[in-house]
Each structure stands twice: as structure tokens, then as C-alpha cells.
Amino acid sequence: MIIEPRIRGFICTTAHPVGCAKYIQDQIDYVRNRGLMKNGPQKVLVIGASTGYGLASRVVTAFGCQAATIGVFLEKEAENNRTASAGWYNSVAFEQKAQKTGLYAKSLNIDAFSDEAKAAVIGFIKKDLGKVDLVVYSVAAPRRQHPKTGQVAKAVLKPIGASYTSMSLDVTTSTLETVTLPAAAQEEIDQTISVMGGEDWEYWMDALEREKLLEEGVVTVAYSYIGPEITKSIYRNGTIGRAKDHLEATAHELDKRMKKIRGRALVSVNKALVTQSSSAIPVIPLYFVLLNKVMKEKGVYEDCIAQVYRLFSTRLYAGGPIPVDEKGLIRMDDWEVRKDVQSQVRANWEKLNDKNLAQFADMEGYHKEFLKLFGFGFEGVDYAADVDYEQRLISAA
């Protein structure tokens, strides 16, 4: 099949297996060029391991620490002339490259929120790894079926208290638009917390602790975001922000428990980046394109792999106490929230109109990064070639 990008709003409905393999190889090369980390984790579980921050965490621990990894994700396999999803091809390529290097890599395409997922992972840890010394929780999902009640909760991205009107970016036409988002109802807030809050992370840690599968000194980390004043109404003070508050409170509780085995449970606040999930948040893509332009000009731009490598090498496994802020959060958004960066973004935001968008916004970078998420736009990949799109995970055999 010859595969071309088919973009529908903020999603691309096709993915390119050879391009996704190149995406993985580039991440592996980034990590290898920096050398092996001392004292890194050896037996790692990544939940939400196929794209974005979770995928980068899997690559960094495998190729930067030589860790065995179990990856959990929810992706689509190819069927009826439809390509698989990008996360599927990423995971196929990851496993092939890990196996070539002699690294254990097991992948499970399963709903992380279910009890079945926990039972399956527990089975593999017992059989193959004994215990785990790192658990990364990086799920970003639109819905969750609660394992105890069976109820389905849906995450919404809405402001709280009052509706919110803002300038936004129409990514398909690269023009500005004005959007008004209605205020969330309490039920929507609760459902968003159920999907994106800390409960499922806690259930995973409960299950692993119950089965005595946590190594002495275990680390568990989940990812959060705070962001600037200009996105506050929709992000941190909105429904997703409430879920992140819950996630951070969960870390606090888990940390007390983990300390009994000399372990830690932490939240890392990462920088805003173009991923499949973040592209779907209203207003945020406009902030991205302004932010990225400023961060690139100042030489402090990072992508997922660079963020996660820095998280592991300078925070989690740097050898001393893990540096955190006054709320106990790891701040990998430190360069994003730098005063000079934010004041420049703010000034550009205030001057923005359709005519000067190209001057202030990194539109080209955004489109390139977006296409790369689906395996498109990589140099050296022959996109006119007929490719095998029905690829299998080695570990599923």
C-alpha cells in the first residue's frame, strides 16, 4: 500500500510504518549520542507507552539505561485496507530495535483502565522480570470505563465557572479564529477527573504492591502540565486542570506509601508539546506555535525525547535527592515558564492577527511535528514506495 497523510482536523487517520520506525530510530539515536546513564532503572513498566511522553520514557529507559520494558497502550491494528495507528507502528519498531540490541520488550495492546490489563502485566512481571523498579504512568485518554462500576466517563476540555472566549488557531487553514467554550457542568468535571486524574495510577500501584512486585527503592512517575496565564482558563483552571490536581494529590499519597520501601511517587510537570492528545485541546495549539517560536529563537526548545532524557538524567537518576518545587513537583517546564520566554510569548500573543501570524508563530514547525507523529515528512523515507502496513508486534507472537 502507498500511504499518504489523511488529515481530519487535529488528527491524521493514516500512519506510515516506515516513517514511524524512523521516528523511533531518531529517538534512539538521540539517547545513544548522550551515552548510557549510570544508576538508571532496569525493569520498567510504562503505561501509555506508544506515543508522546510515554513512548519517549520507554526509549530513554531501554536505550539510555538498558532496561527491560513492558509497555501498555491502546492502539489500532491494521485492518481492511486501513493502516494501523501510529502508536502501533511505533511499538512494532520499538520492539524490533530493542530485540536487536538484546533488550527485553513486551508490549500489551489493552485498556489500561481494566482489571484485565493489570492482571496481564502482573503475569508478565512475575514470569519475566520478578519485580519492577520504575513505573511510568503516561496515559492520555478520551474515556474510561471504571473497572468497579462499569460506568463510562468521558473527559472534556472546558473552562469551569463561566464560559471562556479566546483567540484560537484553526490548524487546517492556519488562520486565527475566535472560540467560545461553555462552562463545564459538575458531572463533566467529575468525569474528566475519573479519566485523567490519579485513580487509575493508584489502582496500578495498589495491584503491584499487593503482589509484591515493587522493588525496594522503586520510583513511579506520572506527567502533568501547568502552563501560563494565557491558557489558564482552558487548561489549569479548567476540567483537565482539576484532573491534574487529582493526579498530583495522588502522587502525594502514593509517595508516603512508597517511602516505606525507600521508593518515591512523583509528578513531573512537562513542557507543552505537540502530541496526539495535546493537539485536541482548544486554544493550546495557538500557544504552542507562539511558544515554540520563542523557545527556538532562545535555543531552549526541546521535543519529547529531549524532555524525558533530561528528566531522567538530571532529576530522577542524577544520583542525589530528586529536585522538586515547593509543591513537591519536578519542573521540566522550567525553560517554558522562564520569565523572558513567557513575557515574549505574551507580548507576541497580544500583537497577533491573521496578517502577522507567520511572524510570531512557528507554523512550519507545528505542521512538521504534527506529521512526524504519524510517520510522515521524514527525510530518507520513500513515501512513494509500496509498504507492508500489516505489521505485527514480536511480543504478541
Binding residues (CB under 6 A) for ligand NAD: these are 48-54, 72-75, 87, 111-113, 138-141, 223-225, 270, 272-273, 275-278
Q: Which is nearer to ligand NAD, 145 or 261 (CB)?
A: 145
Q: Which is nearer to ligand NAD, 160 or 269 (CB)?
A: 269
In contact, 163 and 180? CB cutoff 8 Å: yes
Looking at residue 355, what DSSP letter applies?
T
Q: Which is nearer to ligand NAD, 224 or 395 (CB)?
A: 224
Minimum distance, C-beta of residue 361 to ligand NAD, in the bound complex (Å): 17
Distances (CA, A) of 166 to 159, 240, 332, 367: 11, 17, 27, 22
Q: Which three cell numbers stand for residue 220?
A: 513511579
Q: Which three cell numbers stand for residue 146?
A: 471504571
Residue 287 annotated among the catalytic residues of the structure? no
Out of 235, 301, 366, 389, the active site residue is 235
Q: Nearest to residue 374, comparing CAs of 1, 66, 10, 53?
A: 10
What distance in Å separates the CA atoms of residue 34 and residue 385, rounded to the nearest whole number? 33
Minimum distance, C-beta of residue 143 to ligand NAD, in the bound complex (Å): 8
Looking at residue 276, what DSSP letter applies?
T
Q: Which three cell numbers stand for residue 177?
A: 479564529
Residue 21's Cα: distance from chain center in Å? Answer: 18
Q: Among all chains, which residue has been given the C-alpha cell 510522515? A: 376
In sequence order, the 6+-apart residues with CB closer than 8 A to the CB of 384 are: 2
Minimum distance, C-beta of residue 160 to ligand NAD, in the bound complex (Å): 17
Minimum distance, C-beta of residue 216 to ligand NAD, in the bound complex (Å): 27
Q: Which is nearer to ligand NAD, 88 or 215 (CB)?
A: 88
Q: Return the residue nearest ligand NAD (CB atom).
A: 52
Q: Which is nearer to ligand NAD, 277 or 391 (CB)?
A: 277
Minimum distance, C-beta of residue 262 to ligand NAD, in the bound complex (Å): 26
Residues with active-site annotation: 235
